[in-house]
Structure formats: C-alpha cells, structure tokens
Amino acid sequence: MLATPPLSLYVHLPWCVRKCPYCDFNSHQARGALPFAAYVDALVADLDHDLPLAWGRTVQTVFFGGDTPSLFPADAIDAFLQAASARLRFAPGLEITLETNPGTAEHGRFEHYRAAGVNRISFGVQSFDDGCLQRLGRIHDGAQAAAAIKLAQDAGFDNFNLDLMYALPEQTLAMAERDIERAIALQPAHVSHYQLTLEPNTIFAARPPAGIPDEDASWDMQEHCQALLAEAGFAQYEVSAYARPGRQCAHNLNYWHFGDYLGIGAGAHGKLTLGADQSILRRWKTRHPADYLAKAGSAAAIGGDEAIAPLRRPFDYMLNALRLVDGFALSEFEARTGLARSAIAAELATAVERGWIRIEDDHVAPTELGQRFTNDVISLFLAD
C-alpha cells in the first residue's frame, strides 16, 4: 500500500543576471525590468490549480530555487508566502530556503527576506578563486561572495549553505582544498560540493574549456575535500551534501527519501502520491517564463503529467535514496513505492554480491565502493 509521505513546496524563479556557460537549469537571462508582481500572481494561480492534488496536507519545507531568486524583492517573496500559507497548512517552524547568487546581494535585502519568513539561505559561491570564477562566467568574485555571506550573517542567518563546485577548468587539488578552507572559515551550516559536469546543450558541452581535471584527479579532490570537511565537523550525508549536526537540508532530504512535492513556477517539477487511486503523479510546468506568465493557473501551463508506473518505481526510488550515505529502510521503500521488498530482492542481492551495498535487518546502505559508483548501483534497478 502506498502511504502518503511528507509534502514539500518547490518554487521556481526563472531569471538570472547572466546565463552561466555550464548551466542547464531552466534559467533565462533577465532583460530589462522583471515582472515580479505578475510572476507572483502567476505562482499563486499555479498553486491554486495544483491544490486539489494536496488537499488537507501540511507543507514541511519550502524552497525558492533554480536560478537567482535573490533577484526577487523581499516583498514579492513575502506576498507569495502569505498567499501559500493561506491555502496550505505550513508546519510550525518549517524550513524556508532561498537560493542566492552572491552577485545580487545588497545591503538590507537579507533582513527583509528574514522578515518574510525565509530562515535558510543557499549561496551559489562555486569557488573563491577569481580565475576559476571568471572561467565559469560568474558575475561575482571571491571577495564579493564573502561580503554577501557576511551581509546574511549580519541579518541573523546562521543556517546557510555554500554551493561549491570542483574539478573546474585549470583547478589543482591545492586550489580545491583552498576553496573548502575558505568556505569553512565563513562558518556555514551546510556545504554542497558538486563535481562540475558538462551538461548537454550548454556552452561548456559544445566547447569544453581546457584543463578540466580527469576522473582520478577529480576523485582525489573529492576525497581530500571530504576529509577537510569532516575535520571541521561537516558530515557527508549525501553524494554532494555535508552538514553540521542537525543542519541537513530538510527539503532535499525529502526528495532523497522519495517524499512528495508541489512544483510551482516555470518549468517546475512536482511529484504527488495520490492515495485514493494508489498512484504517483509527476507533473511539470511549461518552461518559458513568458509562456508560463500567460498560462499559469490553467491546464495549458502544465507541460506534462505522467503516472510513475509500478515497474518504474524501484529505479526512481533508488535514484534518490541510494545517494544517501545512510541509505534507507526497506519499510520506507514499501510505503513510498507501494511495492513489496520482494520486488527488488534480486537486484539487492546482486548489489550485495558486488560489494556495493550492505543490508542489516530492515536497512540498506551503500558501501564506500557503492558510494563511488552510485550510478552503476542505481542502474541495476532499471526495469528492462
């Protein structure tokens, strides 16, 4: 039987100051004044349209993400949060995260976000090295990133994340370590450490920059940086996520535990368990901001609806849960996919045999080898 998992709310704000050459997110370069008020109206209409999928449920986390939500004035964030909390019950003290490009931070902004209810900030720092930042086409330098973080701290945000990338063009192991050391010195609660990937349909994929470290060098960086983070009290809990005790990202944890989420905004994806008909629905919205603005609130704004068929569920579940260092409980697999554990017994046995996972009682966790080859482990669960 499918049980109803916790519900999160993801809100996509689709504009950036400038498109970064490595980025394949649904982000659009802002040209001229942005229609903040109209976009908030569209978000609320979109939420109203999706509400029947989540009647009576409590929102456990909110995440404003995707692009550069910090381009949005605090009153726009406030207006949306007020409208959303009037429509859906918000759990007391729920985590509300706002992604921020350090190049858009300005004095006074963070106080207002805080007053609007935001209680966690995620900074897209990427690196503190000015040469690396330039090669990545970022709009800020290392000093600006540090200054933006200081502004947030002064506004009372101690729960903040720093996104860093490694295996950057021309980056050495010492440079990657230096980035981690500079991040730690700023006392974040959380660090996300992503290996740069060349995503299809990006400028970097079409013309790969020179000097990208190879797989062995990248793995070395990951291991050394992980050790530095561990020494400083940041435990790795997911492939790319490290947190101080109690500071894991509740929103992302809900994704990784195959929880539910409403996806509101241009190109946003949602996943909802519909208990009444024992199905799991994926729904995504039309991607282009102008199109979304014109259609939000009507069926025309829905880019697609797709039921996750039972055969597909093991793969979708593992795609998330096997990223977690602590793994998952088989009882959770059963509740969230509606399948018996016997449906994956053969694949689990193969993964154990290859040394990729260990199983103790109800619990499955990746081994160190499994953590290194996450994609291989996950692909075992692809239905033929």
Ligand X SMILES: C[S@@+](CC[C@H](N)C(=O)[O-])C[C@H]1O[C@@H](n2cnc3c(N)ncnc32)[C@H](O)[C@@H]1O
Q: Which is nearer to ligand X, 161 or 286 (CB)?
A: 161
User: What is the edge-to-edge ordering of all strands in the sheet holding 241-243?
Assistant: 235-238, 241-243, 190-195, 160-166, 120-126, 89-100, 58-66, 7-13, 260-265, 269-274, 279-285, 302-307
Among the listed residues 46, 50, 95, 99, the single contact to ligand X using CB under 6 A: 99
Q: How far is the CB of 325 from ligand SF4 (least distance, A)?
A: 25
| Closest among 204, 365, 272 to 10, alpha carbons compared | 272
97 binds ligand X (CB under 6 A): no
60 binds, among ligand X, ligand SF4, none (CB under 5 to 8 A by kind): none
Alpha-carbon Rg for the chain, nearest whole angstrom, is: 21
Among the listed residues 77, 79, 196, 378, the single contact to ligand X using CB under 6 A: 196
Among the listed residues 36, 194, 284, 373, the single contact to ligand X using CB under 6 A: 194
129 binds ligand X (CB under 6 A): no
Q: How far is the CB of 192 from ligand X (least distance, A)?
A: 6
Q: How far is the CB of 92 from ligand X (least distance, A)?
A: 28
Question: CA dist 343 to 278, 324, 339, Å?
Answer: 17, 21, 7
Q: Which is nearer to ligand SF4, 27 or 273 (CB)?
A: 27
22 binds ligand X (CB under 6 A): yes
H-assigned helices in 207-268: 215-231, 250-256
Q: How far is the CB of 139 from ligand SF4 (least distance, A)?
A: 8
Instruction: Quickly tell me which residue has 């004035």 as its tokens.
Output: 73
For 68, other C-beta atoms within 10 Å of its C-beta total: 22
316 binds, among ligand X, ligand SF4, none (CB under 5 to 8 A by kind): none
19 binds, among ligand X, ligand SF4, none (CB under 5 to 8 A by kind): ligand SF4
Tokens of 29: 């370069």
For 107, other C-beta atoms within 10 Å of its C-beta total: 10
Q: How far is the CB of 148 from ligand X (least distance, A)?
A: 10
Q: Which residues bind ligand SF4 (CB under 6 A)?
A: 16, 19-20, 23, 25, 27, 67-68, 101, 124
Tokens of 14: 């689709």
How many chain residues touch ligand X (CB under 6 A)? Answer: 17
The Cα–Cα gap between 234 and 227 comes to 9
Residues shown for the chain: 384
Among the listed residues 4, 6, 17, 25, the single contact to ligand X using CB under 6 A: 25
Contacts of 260 (CB under 8 A, 6+ apart): 4, 5, 6, 7, 8, 54, 57, 254, 271, 272, 273
Q: How far is the CB of 6 from ligand X (least distance, A)?
A: 22
119 binds ligand X (CB under 6 A): no
Among the listed residues 46, 67, 316, 334, the single contact to ligand X using CB under 6 A: 67
Q: How far is the CB of 157 from ligand SF4 (least distance, A)?
A: 19
The Cα–Cα gap between 145 and 160 comes to 13
Among the listed residues 5, 14, 66, 314, the single contact to ligand X using CB under 6 A: 66
Query: CB-side exposure of 374: number of CA atoms within 13 Å?
Result: 14
Q: How far is the CB of 204 from ligand X (least distance, A)?
A: 7
44 three-class SS: helix
30 binds, among ligand SF4, ligand X, none (CB under 5 to 8 A by kind): none
Q: Which is nearer to ligand X, 68 or 254 (CB)?
A: 68
**Contacting residues toward ligand X, per CB under 6 A:** 22-23, 25, 65-68, 99, 101, 124, 126, 163, 165, 194, 196-197, 199
